[in-house]
Amino acid sequence: MNTKANKGRALITGASTGIGATYADRLAARGHDLVLVARDVARLEKVAADVKARHGVQVEVLPADLTSKVELLRVEQRLRSDDGITVLVNNAGMAVQGKLIDADIDRYDAMIQLNVVSVTRLAAAAAATFGKRGSGDIINVASVLALAPEMFNGTYSGTKAYVLNLSQSMQTELGPLGVRVQAVLPGATRTEIWERSGGSISQLPPEMLMEVEDMVDAALAGLDLGEAVTIPSLPEIADWNTLQAARHALGPNLSLSKPAARYLRNAG
Ligand SMILES: NC(=O)c1ccc[n+]([C@@H]2O[C@H](COP(=O)([O-])OP(=O)(O)OC[C@H]3O[C@@H](n4cnc5c(N)ncnc54)[C@H](OP(=O)(O)O)[C@@H]3O)[C@@H](O)[C@H]2O)c1
């Protein structure tokens, strides 16, 4: 029996395991009914049954392969038509390991479809519904690799840099409409993504690896603090603010009518 005030439905992608399944548990504990999206119906139903038993909320399973346009459109349509949805957790994602030169390019293509195209289309659908209503939270799960393209597969980190960039732009656009947008940048977190991408979690130094419950609890605490960007392990938020200030300081010089002096040395 749910005794909490109903806070509307949260639609969570990639909810069959890992970070998404943990968001399902934590958002249900906060009084949200849930719509759970992923491909594996049996695992989604298991998460749904567990969450219902623990928190007594309504849970619906909406199976979809978000790399399939037809199936993605079904989820998008739900976000555009269901005014009871108050939170989107744009979490489903995949990673690849290895070098561009050796790439299985179709796998890269699927990753871009999932990490970039589906995230964008679902964010746009939620933005339209939430913006019209004047309330709602869009949580986009990026990665600290958005800030570290040299550390891992560049295409994966590129997709996550895209999610960060999109989120920051959405904050500017949607904040005035009453919609909160949060980018979450997890570091290494104990989930299946490592094995699924062909890597191994056991190769990571233990001091770099966060438990998934700690990661999601920190991300939700960041949301409660009103953070636009949450990096769960970053000790000092001032370090993030310094990076943003340095970026903004470049602003006035990024587009000028004349090339910089160092490029004029060989001019006629
Ligand atoms: N774990 C980390 O270290 C880490 C660090 C930084 C960022 N992240 C990001 O966090 C997010 C969640 O990752 P995770 O670590 O929880 O990974 P995970 O354990 O591998 O879970 C990924 C989730 O996405 C779903 N998914 C995968 N492909 C899909 C598709 N084509 N259509 C629909 N759903 C799909 C999976 O479910 P099905 O297989 O049932 O479809 C699963 O529910 C991702 O965006 C990831 O990039 C993770």
- Choose among 49, 22, 13, 10: nearest CA to 191: 22
How high is the pLDDT of residue 5?
56
Nearest residue by C-alpha to atom 46 in ligand 1: 93
| Domain assignment present for 81 | yes
Residue 156 Cα to ligand 1 midpoint, Å, equals 12
- Choose among 19, 21, 20: nearest CA to 211: 19
The catalytically annotated residue of 108, 156, 162, 263 is 156
| Domain assignment present for 181 | yes
Q: Token digits for 254?
A: 């990024």
| Domain assignment present for 263 | no
How high is the pLDDT of residue 6?
78
| Domain assignment present for 42 | yes
| Domain assignment present for 186 | yes
Looking from the CA of 164 toward its CB, the CA atoms found within 13 Å total 20
Q: Which residues contact 74 (CB under 8 A, 6 or more apart)?
A: 62, 64
| Domain assignment present for 260 | no
Mutate to test the pocket of ligand 1, among 35, 36, 43, 94 (most ligand atoms within 8 A of CB): 94
Block residue for tokens 């906060």: 30
- Choose among 13, 26, 15: nearest CA to 219: 26
Residue 92 Cα to ligand 1 midpoint, Å, equals 5
CB 94 within 8 A of CB 197: yes
| Domain assignment present for 183 | yes
How high is the pLDDT of residue 265?
80
How high is the pLDDT of residue 197?
93
Domain limits for position 163: 9-238
Q: Which residues contact 206 (CB under 8 A, 6 or more apart)?
A: none
CB 182 within 8 A of CB 228: yes
Residue pLDDT tens, the chain, 268 long: 444 557 999 999 999 999 999 999 999 999 999 999 999 999 999 999 999 999 999 999 999 999 999 999 999 999 999 999 999 999 999 999 999 999 999 999 999 999 999 999 999 999 999 999 999 999 999 999 999 999 999 999 999 999 999 999 999 999 999 999 999 999 999 999 999 999 999 989 999 999 999 999 999 999 999 999 999 999 999 999 999 999 999 999 999 999 999 999 876 6
| Domain assignment present for 139 | yes
Q: How many domains does the chain have?
A: 1
CATH number at residue 92: 3.40.50.720
- Residue 188 CA: nearest ligand 1 atom is 3
How high is the pLDDT of residue 267?
65
Q: Is 92 in the pocket of ligand 1 (CB under 6 A)?
A: yes
Please confirm, yes or no, whether 263 is among the known catalytic residues. Answer: no
DSSP label of 177: G
Q: Token digits for 133?
A: 């209503």
